[in-house]
């Protein structure tokens, strides 16, 4: 059984191995995790699916999640802090995912601000974090951390509209990584991340800046109807992007969408 194999690769001291759920098929592990969190599921509950029928990405996009070709994983966290202290969560997860992939394959992916994992200028995966605030306390009730990674697709396995944009770990590294080992490495690095999340923010963000391929690049900032071109100068400790625009003014970008010149999804 896959769940047993995954658990066998996790250290016995990792408490998350006791709250691990495996699904052969599910709409979305994030959607399911939300339902479980609303029903009181514990911090460190992990959901993994072989396949998702309605995998979701940021900005209401789809995340293509065919059976046995990728990792589709969500974790429920309950940090009980104000949301302002967790602005760096997506960045911390990105670093953790890079750690996990590197541990198993020796290859460290890049990160396209803010939540995309990239290799060879193509998308290897993505992260979708969703927060729920307790209205009574204004603290976080739960955070859902969702990770999707393309693992075993050949280039021609991707749907035609994704072939120019997407790539799998197997294609990047030239070797077929072990699925249960990869999933276990992912869970373990997310568990490590969780322990450092609030007390090692600076260190996490230094690593994020090292992994982030957007820095120094030209970016197209898309906001509502508007588009503006600029250069990505830095990422602050809340994960916000500092951009210098063509007219010389600098701005912090924290919402809307930033697309990077020369990378998938941005042609003009
Ligand atoms: C993105 O590309 O914008 C983020 C993609 C995140 C995909 C993962 S797969 C597991 C979890 N469940 C979902 O529906 N989405 C995330």
Whether ligand 1 lies within 6 angstroms of the CB of 44 is answered as no
Q: Which two tokens stand for residue 24?
A: 């052969």
Rounded Cα distance between 21 and 218, Å, is 41
Q: Is the CB of 126 under 6 A from ligand 1?
A: yes
Partner residues linked to 258 by β-bridges: 221
Ligand 1 centroid, distance to 58 Cα (angstroms)? 8
Mutate to test the pocket of ligand 1, among 33, 34, 128 (most ligand atoms within 8 A of CB): 128
Report which of residues 126 and 227 the model is more confident about.
126
Q: Does any ligand 1 atom lie closer than 6 A to the CB of residue 230?
A: no
Global pTM reads 0.96
User: What's the residue count for the chain?
Assistant: 268
pLDDT digits (tens, 9 = 90+) for 53-75: 999 998 889 999 999 999 999 99
Which of the 8 DSSP states describes residue 16? G
pLDDT tens track for 230-249:
999 999 999 999 999 989 99
Q: What is the pLDDT of residue 260?
A: 62
């Amino acid at each position: 059984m896959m769940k047993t194999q995954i658990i066998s690769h996790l250290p016995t001291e990792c408490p998350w191995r006791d709250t691990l759920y495996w699904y052969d098929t599910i709409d979305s592990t994030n959607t399911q995790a939300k339902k479980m969190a609303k029903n009181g599921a514990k911090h460190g509950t992990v959901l993994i699916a072989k396949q998702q029928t309605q995998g979701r990405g940021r900005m209401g996009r789809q995340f293509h999640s065919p059976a046995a070709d990728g990792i589709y994983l969500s974790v429920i966290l309950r940090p009980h802090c104000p949301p302002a202290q967790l602005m760096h969560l997506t960045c911390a997860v990105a670093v953790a995912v890079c750690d996990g992939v590197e541990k198993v394959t020796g290859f460290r992916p890049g990160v396209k601000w803010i939540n995309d994992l990239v290799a060879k200028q193509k998308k290897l995966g993505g992260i979708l974090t969703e927060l729920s605030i307790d209205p009574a306390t204004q603290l976080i009730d739960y955070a859902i951390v969702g990770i999707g990674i393309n693992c075993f697709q050949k280039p021609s396995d991707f749907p035609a509209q994704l072939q120019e944009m997407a790539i799998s770990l197997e294609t990047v590294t030239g070797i077929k990584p072990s699925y249960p080992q990869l999933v276990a490495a992912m869970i373990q690095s997310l568990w490590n991340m969780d322990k450092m999340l609030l007390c090692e923010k600076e260190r996490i963000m230094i690593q994020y800046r090292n992994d982030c391929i957007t820095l120094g690049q030209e970016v197209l900032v898309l906001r509502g109807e508007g588009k503006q071109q600029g250069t990505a100068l830095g990422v602050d400790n809340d994960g916000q992007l500092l951009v210098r625009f063509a007219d010389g003014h600098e701005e912090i970008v924290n919402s809307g969408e930033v697309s990077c010149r020369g990378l998938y999804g941005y042609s003009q």
